[in-house]
Structure 1
């Protein structure tokens, strides 16, 4: 890119300084702070209601029927119901219930008109066992409420400011479950691909909105005592410094995780193309197919189908706390069955793509932790980092996310996490290039 072209597309340092100190930008920062509070409150009750419904479907209802836990066949009617609910939302409501999750977390902010469909799709289907996370619906809630507030204030806002406000609302929303404002802000910046002054102009409103939002969200959790299911691992295996064996085994396994998660993502793209026609019927068919995969996991392992269903947050915590309670065969079955269900859901249902990928990557790596010289904690670290990088395409965000997941144990695992994200990202780029080149070669 020439200097002349760069000057036309990016503001100068002096221009950025003038914008930062301008009255209109100061108002934008203040508005971002004010929006963080109601968005966090709305997200708190959104996530709390989702977890309440999830508990009712997978725990309370089976007990009411005299069952100790959800039986092996439970996912089939549950996912069929999810498909039947989602089909009219996708085909008839504005916004189609939110964006297709295989396309990632990007795209323009969801406006107020599309918000009801996205909220209804998430609350009515995710608790039934859809193998997707809550991050994309939360971002829709954040951006929709932010833009609705601006519209309600009847304030004239130019399109660029509306984009910043919507993005700040999305960041405030997703910060509530990603461990705080830092990883959410980095995600937005890395996904936007900005640099220099443009980065600062977008970053500051996102930081203040997500910081205030995360604070309010945490306070509400402590005050109400409701389960909000933040992305955190309450317990981890004993922390051990990675040694040569961990790196010798871990780096090839980062490639393996990238291949597995990438295969699920490609399945999602195929499913998305298939459901583009006869959408209602094929949405129901895909939901039922995902239920069959979850049922297969329960039949093959004799364990609860709930472990493979849903976003995987709870199962990831259990896997980290009790890694030896899963046999290698059970972990392989979890990767295969949940991976298939996740790939199908990516292209046909509604939700977020990242949370299930973390569990799939962690399970794949931990299935190999029985290898001589390879530890459980390094497997957990590299599995989550490599999976997040593969599904999001954002290596920096993925590394920070893995560090936050491991908490105090992350310090010793950082070198392995960083190398795993780099290797997984390069592997993903290589596979994508081969996929794109294949039709021309044929």
Structure 2
């Protein structure tokens, strides 16, 4: 009988004095009365913020439905005609220009700047809400996520006095971030995506990450509960980013992974190109802001009209945030010809780029649609399936626009649902490629 060598049991290395001190401080902070009060406050604040956010997205959704479906039918058109975005976007520019120029907060941050930065002061909230309710229903190629985050963060700050915020700057940051998490609890289809996004965007690590994650998860969970309950009770829709159905996929093969690199790079370049246009639009609107904002809104309308006129399809596909078009594309990817998909990338990409630098809304939803369109358009390549192309586009676009590969991968996994188990390695590769390419070529603000 062969002798067996005994393998010593390896015990974890003892903690260094610094690690032991850090762990003790973290435990003391987590169990301190002040932090427990913060968790209670995050829970209590998360419920009313979620109610306000639900009302906001429901109103925006109803206004959008009225502008693009009910009103055309009332005027005798079964669907919105190709020229419909010309008057709606011109009206959006006329209405939003005075909000941007004259009201405190200027309608919120420019979408090209990203997720929005620190929580907005409460006095800026009226202009943020008004600008979003003007721009989004009338067809601006932007999503609702940035105004929602600003709304949630600003409302959370209302619960903390200025004196307390000045005494402990972390209090405002933690509570504002939790408020933003509550407000976007289900707009990405799952509360976990919003919480992970807030944490990854914060750039924290170690004990600081744990201190932030608990109130964010608590607020997100309660917010999702409110959204779900009120959605069932009222029957109102919120237009969350979700795919009711998508192409069934098998385990990705070598061809899928080989195509993932160039397609993810292409998606990243499309996103970076739109951001470059956004920054040039920012420079254009610095002078004569009101007039040039109106001109930009009209330009967005022209881009959307061009897509509808040239493709013969609905202008809604190039307008708005892209949530409905994404669901349709995933459910019926072959309903679009390659030419129509290329037109959609070109026209919506231009409309989105101009919107990023001049109007108000969120940058993420349109980017995800454009990535999915590029992926589906490339799915006819040898060795690449439709489901794989869609997966590549979803992961790459989310990473390119947010710069957050973990969040983007999680969002793509949740979007493709039952296919996630097979597609996860492909999603990760696509996210990494898009992260590297977009970081390398991302445009800087125009001077």
TM-score by shorter chain over 0.5? yes
Match of 1:109 in 2: 119
Match of 2:425 in 1: 415
Match of 1:176 in 2: 186
Structure 1 stretches of 5 or more lacking a match? 1-6
Asked if 1:41 corresponds to 2:51, the answer is: yes
Asked if 1:149 corresponds to 2:159, the answer is: yes
TM-superposed CA distance for 1:301, in Å, is 0.2
Asked if 1:388 corresponds to 2:398, the answer is: yes
Equivalent residues in 2 for 1:324-363 (5 A)? Answer: 324-363=334-373
Moved more, 28-37 or 182-191: 182-191
Asked if 1:126 corresponds to 2:139, the answer is: no
Look up the SS of the partner of 1:96 in the other structure: coil
Distance in structure 1 (CA, Å) of the matches to 2:230 and 2:249: 32
TM-score, normalised via structure 2 length: 0.92
Per-residue CA deviation, residues 221-246 of structure 1 (Å, 9 max, x unaligned), is 11111111111100111232212221
Contact 1:361 1:386 in 2 (8 A): yes
Distance in structure 1 (CA, Å) of the matches to 2:225 and 2:412: 21
Match of 1:3 in 2: none
TM-superposed CA distance for 1:183, in Å, is 1.4
Per-residue CA deviation, residues 65-85 of structure 1 (Å, 9 max, x unaligned), is 101111111111100110111
Distance in structure 2 (CA, Å) of the matches to 1:113 and 1:299: 42
Structure 2 stretches of 5 or more lacking a match? 1-17
Query: Which structure is larger by alpha-carbon Rg, 1 or 2?
Result: 2
TM-superposed CA distance for 1:181, in Å, is 2.6
Asked if 1:367 corresponds to 2:377, the answer is: yes
Look up the SS of the partner of 1:235 in the other structure: coil
Asked if 1:139 corresponds to 2:146, the answer is: no
Asked if 1:402 corresponds to 2:412, the answer is: yes
TM-superposed CA distance for 1:153, in Å, is 13
TM-score, normalised via structure 1 length: 0.93
Distance in structure 2 (CA, Å) of the matches to 1:323 and 1:397: 25
Match of 1:86 in 2: 96
Asked if 1:279 corresponds to 2:279, the answer is: no
Distance in structure 2 (CA, Å) of the matches to 1:132 and 1:212: 27
Contact 1:180 1:210 in 2 (8 A): no
Per-residue CA deviation, residues 329-385 of structure 1 (Å, 9 max, x unaligned), is 000000000000000000000000000000011101111111122111111111011
Match of 1:304 in 2: 314
Distance in structure 2 (CA, Å) of the matches to 1:153 and 1:330: 56
Equivalent residues in 2 for 1:237-316 (5 A)? Answer: 237-316=247-326
Q: How many residues are paired up?
A: 427
